[in-house]
Structure 1
Amino acid sequence: MTSGFDGVWQVDRESSRGRYFNGAFPPDTVTFAGAIALKVATGVDQRDALVEGFTEIGAEMSSFFPEPNMRPDEVAHLVDLVIRDHNAQVTTASREAIALLEAFDAMTIAGIVYSFAEGGDTQDVLEDIGISARTLVDHGVAVRGYCFAHAGDADELIMNGQLALGYGIFAEAGSTPEEIGKEVAALLREQGLPVRPHLSAEQRIIVGPMIYEIPFTGMDLEDIPEP
């Protein structure tokens, strides 16, 4: 990873995969352990939430993955193994991961609600955004729009080093989707992230290539060891 003259980190596509791929449990989309590693690499869920969610899957494994069914204690043990393996590889956060989280914080301050790696589809995400928006309004923030990447988008970030962000508006706020899209892109660029030109009609912004790495400690910037 090198720094370009314009302050944007230039990342070779072939090297935009995180160090977690070097471990015993690399992320993937086809195995149970790989699916756990994907969520651990994203860093959104706490350990107990991972155990709870994957225990339900492990009880009916044949419907999702090639591995045999697993008991709750076996799932919990595997989750702990994956977390330890991840943190053995990823001891500090990548600059791009910190930049992305800083950009999300800046969006909140600007009245743009964000949702990252929550919900399986857009409808789930919009429900999450609605809850977050009401909380911000209760705290006196003038909410104007939103930005999101659902769980599948976050998986793509881990697997291929690029993140698709959707965006939109709250009609009563008076902003247009184009205005929110431009502001989201500007806030990402201010943090030095590579943002590709996008068609505003699609209301999607592509960020990358980038390396997203954080130790499994949660997504609070104060808790993340920096490079």
Structure 2
Amino acid sequence: MDVKPSRGRYFGGTFPPDTVTFAGAIALKVATGVDTREALVAGFSEIGAEMSSYFPEPAMDGADVERLVDLVIRDHNAQVTSASRDAIALLDAFHAMSIRGIVYSFAEAGDTQTALEDIGDSARELVEHGVGVRGYCFAHAVDTDELIMNGQLALGYGIFAESGSMPEEIGRDIAQVLREHGLTVRPHLSAEQRLIVGPMVYELPYEGMDIPAPDEEL
């Protein structure tokens, strides 16, 4: 049975998320809420300079990209004024996993390899704080784009070999934590070590940025 997608309030704004336009791609990252404003400006300025390789819009210089990022942030926050229950539940679940020795990476990496490198760094930090690590889960940028667009999040998972845990055990523990926080979880339909979380509405106001007020713009 098909799962009905869940869509956030950010789709009602001037700059809705999408995967085919430059502004839509910025809106996707703003909706995910992980990257700082400075990281968004820097990353999308590189893309804007080589726009024809990625999106149909004309090339944009750094100043124009910065203005567009700020417009997208304002538009997002005009629509999303509070965090959704599902977003709070997901982030709380990740925190609970860390306490249980399951390291996570959420939207910090563009591919699986980079996500695993991020997990390795996080695992070392937990060990330094006296937490025994048993396994991990991750959602890279493509996974979190799907979360914003279609209300479902694919989580990959695995083990640290020295822990003595089995992948199935870690998968069950991750699913249990997510369900304890009120989220729907189902196994991936392939042989991959992945879970599907959702349908869910992931909405967070974008915070932690320093953007000029409209009357301060050049």
- Output the TM-score relative to the length of structure 1: 0.88
Q: Which runs of 4+ in 1 moved over 2 A?
A: 197-201
Q: What does residue range 68-147 of structure 1 map to in structure 2 within 5 Å?
A: 68-147=58-137
**The one of 168, 172, 176 aligned to 2:166:** 176
1:13 is displaced (CA, Å) by 2.3
The amino acid of 1:34's aligned partner reads G
The answer as to 2:142 corresponding to 1:149 is no
Distance 2:103 2:189 in 1: 21
Residue in structure 1 matched with residue 8 of structure 2 by the alignment: 18
**The one of 30, 50, 54 aligned to 1:60:** 50
Residue in structure 2 matched with residue 202 of structure 1 by the alignment: 192
Residue in structure 1 matched with residue 211 of structure 2 by the alignment: none
Structure 2 portions without partners, runs of 5+: 209-218
Q: Does the 8 Å contact 2:187/2:194 carry over to 1?
A: no
Distance 2:51 2:190 in 1: 40
1:196 is displaced (CA, Å) by 1.5
Structure 1 portions without partners, runs of 5+: 1-11, 219-227
Q: Does the 8 Å contact 1:178/1:200 carry over to 2?
A: no
Per-residue CA deviation, residues 170-220 of structure 1 (Å, 9 max, x unaligned), is 0001100000000000000000001114469421000111100000015xx
- Output the TM-score relative to the length of structure 2: 0.92
Number of residue equivalences: 206
Q: Does the 8 Å contact 2:143/2:154 carry over to 1?
A: yes
Per-residue CA deviation, residues 125-177 of structure 1 (Å, 9 max, x unaligned), is 00110111111111111011000000000000000000000000000011000
